[in-house]
Structure 1
């Protein structure tokens, strides 16, 4: 992972839970098999789609231990080491790398406002402490800081960062990062991955190395087909696949906004879909997220049927 960019489809793996909100390791293994069998290129555990922010440390460790052991080196496993401050993140880095994660994924510090100089120190400190490559996670909706492209590339040039997962939704900034990375002769092996699952065809056409799609839990085959079509230069086939996935993504809006937030709706829909497809045993999401109603789950089923997944 340090010699060449990480490329392809790297789903952020959902964390199946039991009805009493413990990690369902049996369902997690089936989900991993579902993803690996579709031909994905890597797995990202303990990110936003994994509900990492809701999981206590013991459950985070269970997730990493289970996935790393089951994958057994078939493909890289990236693990989120996400917390508010550098010392706390450093502890998570130590835990996930001890469990065998091939790389760690880290946001900027949050809770307090941070200056770019502090963000740089954060990443440099973590890279110095990590035996595995460090990927930046650009997630301003949660962290309240947009990672500057120039800062990312400077850190990459110094060997601090192996790549970035850009979930900012700022397509202009994403394109600018790709252009700047291409122009920098001192940056090599730096992976630029998009988390914008509805515009993957455009991102890959612009030069992105890969995609980290939450919807890829539900339909990994679709994202693998999309990626392969783009790599083959068949952008018409890619467009058709992308538009099918855009239609499927509408399932994330089935939750009634009068009683739940967007995260409850989206993660609830992903898990309901996996349950309906027979991949996981229970669609429970972590507290305090609001569960989907039976009628909303039925709507998820309709989206799956329309997409040819039921």
Structure 2
């Protein structure tokens, strides 16, 4: 389908359900997609952080893209992460995502190697030059150790290299600079600015952002769609109340014991435990070497769901 410019609304970063032996659980993935579409989301983003893309083999990544694009069948746009260390590896991912029918790709700065801002810019220009679909930048410095400066993002937007930004930097001031620049700078047209935060969607939309890519939307897509629509209607009091309910629900990501697991295991484990408890996926397994939630920790996730009216 033709990607709307700008892309707006709620774009869940789709979790990747796994079987107990860590293969992609295709039936559960299809159910999850139906769960999201039935809530009225505006697009889907596969192979991002909440998709555990970093943990999946290339073959499993390809299977995820092919499954989701085929099942969605043009009902909403599908964005696919093309996330890897260097430009040639990213272009390999771009090739199979585009061949599968993804409507756009999402690309981080290069990582592992130390890169200069000029090399980051060259990376995006080379990817965009060779990509048959639009390229979104993914600003996630906690993972790639490079912060995309607002000036660089706006420069690349102005020359048509980038179609949008998914901002997971946590830097609200820099985010605001991009939002304002995307609206006011000559030459920038249809550039999508999306927040990756679960917790400040109302604030981001109030600043003029186009939409949100919240991992928690896997668990409560109706809540995020409701929040988005309240913001667009200008009902800021009701939007704030809905955002606060979602912030409380996000507490589930701390269910894992930090003495035995990292934040990724706890957060992604909580999302998957919640989807399992809600009957959307068959197994809450996370990809190795992440540590699984215990029975007691999964019960904690259930309490958050119950408090939010989701069980």
Residue matched to 2:238: 237
SS in 2 for 1:66: helix
Residue deviations 1:66-86, cap 9 Å, x none?
Answer: 000000000000000000000
Partners of 1:268 and 1:283 within 8 A in 2: yes
Residue matched to 1:273: 274
* Equivalences for residues 77-88 of structure 1 within 5 A: 77-88=78-89
SS in 1 for 2:261: coil
Residue matched to 1:31: 32
Partners of 2:272 and 2:285 within 8 A in 1: yes
Residue matched to 1:9: 10
Write the distance in 1 (CA, Å) between the matches of 2:213 and 2:3. 19
Residue deviations 1:41-97, cap 9 Å, x none?
Answer: 000000000000000011001100100000000000000000000011011100111
Partners of 2:3 and 2:77 within 8 A in 1: no
Residue matched to 1:190: 191
CA RMSD of aligned residues (A): 0.8
Residue deviations 1:193-215, cap 9 Å, x none?
Answer: 00011000010011000000000
Comparing 238-247 and 153-162, the one that deviates more: 153-162
Write the distance in 2 (CA, Å) between the matches of 1:122 and 1:2. 23
Residue matched to 1:176: 177
Following TM superposition, the consecutive aligned residue runs of length 4 or more in structure 1 with deviations greater than 6 angstroms are: none
Residue matched to 2:258: 257
Partners of 1:127 and 1:160 within 8 A in 2: yes
Residue matched to 2:290: 289
Write the distance in 2 (CA, Å) between the matches of 1:242 and 1:161. 29
- How many correspondences in the alignment? 310
Residue matched to 2:93: 92
SS in 1 for 2:91: helix
Partners of 2:195 and 2:209 within 8 A in 1: yes
Residue 180 of structure 1 and its aligned partner are, at CA, apart by 2.1
* Equivalences for residues 93-108 of structure 1 within 5 A: 93-108=94-109
Residue matched to 1:58: 59
SS in 1 for 2:114: coil
Residue 3 of structure 1 and its aligned partner are, at CA, apart by 5.9
Write the distance in 2 (CA, Å) between the matches of 1:3 and 1:65. 21
Write the distance in 2 (CA, Å) between the matches of 1:209 and 1:16. 28
Unaligned runs of 5+ in 1: none
Cα gap change, 1:53/1:285 in structure 2, threshold over 3 Å: closer, same or farther? same
Q: Do residues 157 (structure 1) and 158 (structure 2) align?
A: yes
SS in 2 for 1:164: strand
